[in-house]
Amino acid sequence: MEKLSTKPFIKKIHDFYAKNRRDFPWRYAENPYFIVVSEIMLQQTQTFRVEPKYNLFINRFHSFEALANATQKDIFAYWQGLGYNRRAMYLQKVCQWVITNHNGELPKNPVLLETQKGIGYATARSICTFAFNIPTAFIETNIRSVFLHEFFNGQTNVKDNQIMPLVEQTVDKKDPRSWYYALMDYGVFLKATIPNPSKQSAHQNKQSKFEGSTRQIRGAIIRLLLEQQYNHDDLLHIITTQYPHATSSKTKVILQKMIIEKMIKYSNDQYGI
């Protein structure tokens, strides 16, 4: 796209950030491990839910090595309340990869990070930026909202590949970490004060309702099995009784899938973690 004058935009974001900066513990982290934990926790989860869990989690698992060697049951216990428990499994796998393949040092190459499940294009680059202050170009929901509002006002069905050149053009090469935090904070402000600019995006995905969803049943299964083991009939009875939408056939499919994914175990008619 044609190069636009972005100086007024950059000044606007810096001025906003100077007065309205949000504070989170991971923004002060110097340990790359803490950044990896926060970035995976923040996927599809609001900051107000992540903050208390983040503090508990890094106090319990304080390093790549500590999390790599933890039991899955222990990890799930400290992940409770964040949802998408599969992310906790991916996070441990990343830690094991760092320990086994990279001598405990997180690679600074986003292309390498992308090889790990649970770390996509944007997360790989956000980790490199926030952990090492390396200038990369990436888009997440709040960043997208900012560029849609400032450069595509009134337009619809805007694709990320239309936004990305502007992201690349405006990124602060000297302090990309602070620049992206500023963008995210301004994006949160916009969503709280005007109709959500993300509606202009071709990539907007509205999260499905939690109530009555498969996610709700999976989360309930994990919570129950963190407390104790259950035989098949008892677990099935509890789930189908507590959640009317969880039919016996649907719950059996979910249980089988969770076994295949290695989220839960089943042996001698006993489910566990």
For residue 270, what is the enclosing H or E element? strand 270-272
Tokens coding 120: 């996509």
Rounded to whole angstroms, how far apart are CA atoms 38 and 184? 15
Does residue 150 carry a catalytic annotation?
no
The single residue listed with the structure tokens 């508990």 is: 56
User: How many CB atoms are closer than 10 A to CB 156?
Assistant: 10
Tokens coding 116: 């790990």
Checking DSSP bridges between strand 265-267 and strand 230-231, what pairing results, if any? unpaired
Q: Look at residues 28, 37, 10, 25 and name the one whose alpha carbon lies nearest to residue 174.
A: 10
Rounded to whole angstroms, how far apart are CA atoms 234 and 213? 21
For residue 231, what is the enclosing H or E element? strand 230-231
User: Counting beta carbons within 10 angstroms of the beta carbon of residue 1, is it exposed (0 to 12), middle (13 to 18) or buried (19 or more)?
Assistant: exposed
Task: State the catalytic residue, choosing from 2, 30, 39, 105.
Answer: 39
Q: Which residues are catalytic?
A: 39
